[in-house]
Amino acid sequence: MLKNKILPLFKLQIVSYAFTALLLFTVCFFVHFGREAHSSKSWEYVLPGGEDLVYWSYGKGRIMTPRCDGNPFYFEEQGTRHIIPWTTAETIGLISKYAKIPFSWFFPAWHILAPFLTWLLIVLCCWKLWDYPLSASAAITYFLLFSTLFHSHQMIQWTLYRFSRPLDGIALLFLWISLVFKGNRNNKIHFCASWLVPPIVLWLHPYYAGFGLWFTVIEYVRGLLKNKNASKFDLRFWMTVSTFIAGFSFIGYAFSGENINPLVLFGPTKPSFGSPFLNLLTSFLWLAVVWGTVLFFKFSFREKTTPLDFLTVESAIFLVWVCWINGFVVPKTELIVHLHYFLVPMIFSMTGWVYEKVIIFKKSGYFSIFSKALVFLTILVLTLSLVIKENLIFCSPPYFSIKILQYFFIILVSVWAVTGFDFLRRLTTKKGLVYGLIIAVAVAGHWIIPLNPQNRDFPFAGAFQWLKKNAQEKEVVLTASRKYRFCDYLFLKTGLKSYYNDYGSGNVFIESPQAKFRVVFYTALLLNRVDKIRHLEALSLEEKIHLVRLDYVLIPIPSPFYNVVTRQLQGFLKLVYQDKKCFLWKVT
């Protein structure tokens, strides 16, 4: 079997590439999470950040009874779910429940398989739909995906790490866009994919569905206007139909059941995302660069407008549209925060587009003029960086369009160098060198990802073991520390509820009297003011303690809050667990 059926498969280039990629992503997993495990002194506490903890908790909350993926952290908010589902997290929870696979096993599986499958699907799209050579597609996909690890913007740097968005949707969106521009109505696989991909993307990633639909509708209308005899029921028509059908099912889900509106979607924009006017202005700048280039090639070289031209111009218009909506129509939404989700599809299309244009220059007699102009531009940018003492190529401005321009510049120079210098081009054909470079970039990228400071010497591991053995289901634990406010692992590791948690308080119930009291009591406890909570002076301490369910108090050692907590709750605490890193009291 192995010799006759499996080994011959490795003679296929794509299979050997895929196997190598799987090995590489496995190594990358151990490079980064091995460091996290070393830092936390346990493989149990290695999550890269607080948001990952939240989404894994949603997955676990989905399989609790009653379901509590709406807010898995609070006892009082059981039986709720989110208005917009976290489909990947919930699906993993359900697979774990019905296949009886331990939930924690999905952590390494996700961090190895998700980037691997993303890589594989993008490579297949580039190879089969866009007709690029397989080896070049594989190498470029590695470099572009790993390039995110080196980005100075934290959200972009976490693209390959964060569970589950945006990684669960990137490759499928890439497939969607590829089908829009390169799909064939008469190809059965393309036709089936056109029905399946939009609903899956919509349910996995509503933001991406908006992006995909944008191209689908524009290209459908453009196709009809361009050729009036063309079939009205082409691939893009059916993709639009399947998106709308999925949209109705999505709306049906959103408006039924006990839903929670997460504030994270509708909350105020953080000031770090810059002024709306400059956001719009910079997006216009990017559009001007793209459109200007397309027009230049159309009129100077008499070149036909290509699918990549349309893709790049349409994504630039999309960017302008989002900046306008976010800044001036529905201001202060979180839409602008999620623009980085679109970076990977944009840099992939941009790379193909830049390569296409540089090749046209190369074939024309103007390559040397282009080279001189580019060298001049590079010197100008570097000089300006020195003068203003800011690295203009690698700095992280708040404006997404500037980040795209930075990527554009780096890709342009790289493509120009490889195309223009023979010795560099020859180097790209040396397999050993390219493999070595890919491995070096992958390992370096995974090595420089910052470790989660909350994992370092994690103090509650022993207490969680005790709670798992002795606590009643769904009891409530107050963690008297602000250090672990985003990543306390309580619910994920024990299934118990939090008294206060920054993520747990980020939903509509924040306005309920119970939720307000929870915040006031928790803050008052840490500030030594429990006896003087305004409007509640008439209540005894015992009544205040039990106004919202509270069963345990957990505190790390050492802690600035140890004295204030023990002094204020004196008489109500019974020590049940203690080790070198924490105290755990039962509230009586």
The residues binding another protein (CB under 8 A) are: 481-483, 485, 502, 519-520, 522-524, 526-527, 529, 532, 558-561
Residue 332 contacts residue 273 (beta carbons within 8 Å): no
Q: Minimum Å distance from CB 546 to another protein? A: 20
Q: Which residue number, 8 or 560, has a Cβ lying nearer to another protein?
A: 560
Q: Which residue number, 252 or 558, has a Cβ lying nearer to another protein?
A: 558
User: Residues with Cβ < 8 Å from 161, sequence gap 6 or more?
Assistant: 32, 48, 49, 52, 111, 167, 449
Ramachandran area for residue 163 (φ above 0: left; ψ -120 to 50: alpha; else beta): beta
CA distance 215 to 194: 13
Q: Which residue number, 38 or 581, has a Cβ lying nearer to another protein?
A: 581
Residue 561 contacts residue 555 (beta carbons within 8 Å): yes
Q: Which residue number, 363 or 532, has a Cβ lying nearer to another protein?
A: 532
Q: Which residue number, 152 or 523, has a Cβ lying nearer to another protein?
A: 523
Q: Which residue number, 334 or 502, has a Cβ lying nearer to another protein?
A: 502
Q: Which residue number, 24 or 524, has a Cβ lying nearer to another protein?
A: 524
Radius of gyration of the chain (CA): 27
Q: Minimum Å distance from CB 537 to another protein? A: 12
- Residue whose structure tokens are 């420089």: 448
Residue 487 contacts residue 49 (beta carbons within 8 Å): yes
Three-state secondary structure along 511-566? HCHHHHHHHHHHHHHHCCCHHHCCCCCCCCHHHHHCCCCCCEEEEECCCCCHHHHH
Q: Which residue number, 12 or 527, has a Cβ lying nearer to another protein?
A: 527
Report the length, in residues, of the chain.
588
Q: Cα separations (Å) of 227 from 215, 218, 223, 259, 408?
A: 18, 14, 6, 46, 33
At residue 387's C-alpha, the angle toward residues 386 and 393, to 5°, is 45
At residue 23's C-alpha, the angle toward residues 18 and 29, to 5°, is 125
H or E stretch at 14: helix 13-40
Q: Minimum Å distance from CB 519 to another protein? A: 5
Q: Minimum Å distance from CB 524 to another protein? A: 7
Q: Minimum Å distance from CB 529 to another protein? A: 7
Q: Minimum Å distance from CB 277 to another protein? A: 19
Q: Which residue number, 436 or 560, has a Cβ lying nearer to another protein?
A: 560
Torsion of CA 343, 348, 349, 355, to 10 degrees: 130
Q: Minimum Å distance from CB 518 to another protein? A: 10
Q: Minimum Å distance from CB 95 to another protein? A: 36
Q: Which residue number, 413 or 520, has a Cβ lying nearer to another protein?
A: 520
Q: Which residue number, 92 or 477, has a Cβ lying nearer to another protein?
A: 477
Q: Minimum Å distance from CB 48 to another protein? A: 19
CA distance 334 to 586: 40
277-289 per-residue burial string, b: 16 or more CB within 10 A, e: under 16: ebbbebbbbbbeb
Q: Cα separations (Å) of 545 from 517, 524, 525, 558?
A: 11, 12, 10, 24
Q: Is 576 helix (H, G, I), strand (E, B) or coil?
A: strand
Three-state secondary structure along 363-406? HCCCHHHHHHHHHHHHHHHHHHHHHHCCCCCCCCCCCHHHHHHH
450 DSSP 8-state letter: P
Q: Which residue number, 265 or 520, has a Cβ lying nearer to another protein?
A: 520
Q: Minimum Å distance from CB 175 to another protein? A: 41
Q: Which residues are 573's β-sheet partners?
A: 587
CA distance 393 to 340: 17
Q: Minimum Å distance from CB 527 to another protein? A: 5
Q: Minimum Å distance from CB 424 to another protein? A: 47
Helices (H), 233-306: 235-254, 263-266, 276-300
